[in-house]
Amino acid sequence: MNAYDEIYQQLLPRLKTCDLKKHAENLGLDYQNSEIKVDFMGEIFTVTNEGIVPYTEDGNAYHVPITLAYYVLSEGKGEPSENFVARHHLANTMTGMFDKTRITEPILIATQGDYKVFSQAAVNLKGKYIGQKKGGYFWVFDPLPKIPVGFTFIEADDELPAELLITVPDNATDFLEYECLDGLEGIIVERIRQEVRRIVQKSQTKS
């Protein structure tokens, strides 16, 4: 049993006693026949008091069922804030100790800093373009109800390389524990990276 399995097993007793109907209502999820159906970026998961199906690991080692379990177990009251901030702000982490682009580096490498490739991947994954923000193009993804995740793509100039910032609502921890936000961001980054690779490979095949 690996570390992810151990964490999942520790969450099962909490799921067993969870009022899924109430939590589903708070989170805006569909509850029918004693189960919750969750569309996580195009993949359907079923949550019951017995666990989560399918029980699989995401390719980049972030465990999707664990993230979903913590999400469903949260109270989730209210609505997400429209004020997006970097995740470290939620834990009062000093900016100088936090590499704000590290987690998105795989996307920048895959796109080679090309915004057009990123934007195409974002569209394919049902991301929504909001507009200009902080000198870049601001997109929002909705991997789970009430937990939007924002990406700001800042194109390279003569002095600085392209930059990709990731942000969440400033009340995101009302819907998912802080540590799990890291996993959620990692899952989305990996999905975008995979879609970028697919786009690039398709373009190379055509040429």
Q: pLDDT tens, 159-192? A: 999 999 999 999 999 999 998 998 899 999 999 9
In contact, 143 and 184? CB cutoff 8 Å: yes
Q: So what CATH class is 84-206?
A: alpha beta
Q: pLDDT tens, 55-70? A: 765 544 457 888 999 9
CA dihedral sign, ordered 167, 154, 189, 146? positive
Confidence (pLDDT) at 100: 57
Distance CA 30, CA 72 (A): 12
- The pTM score is 0.89
Mean pLDDT of 185-207: 90
Domain ranges of the chain: 3-73, 84-206
Mean pLDDT of 6-20: 93
Pairing of strands 35-40, 84-85: unpaired
Confidence (pLDDT) at 1: 65
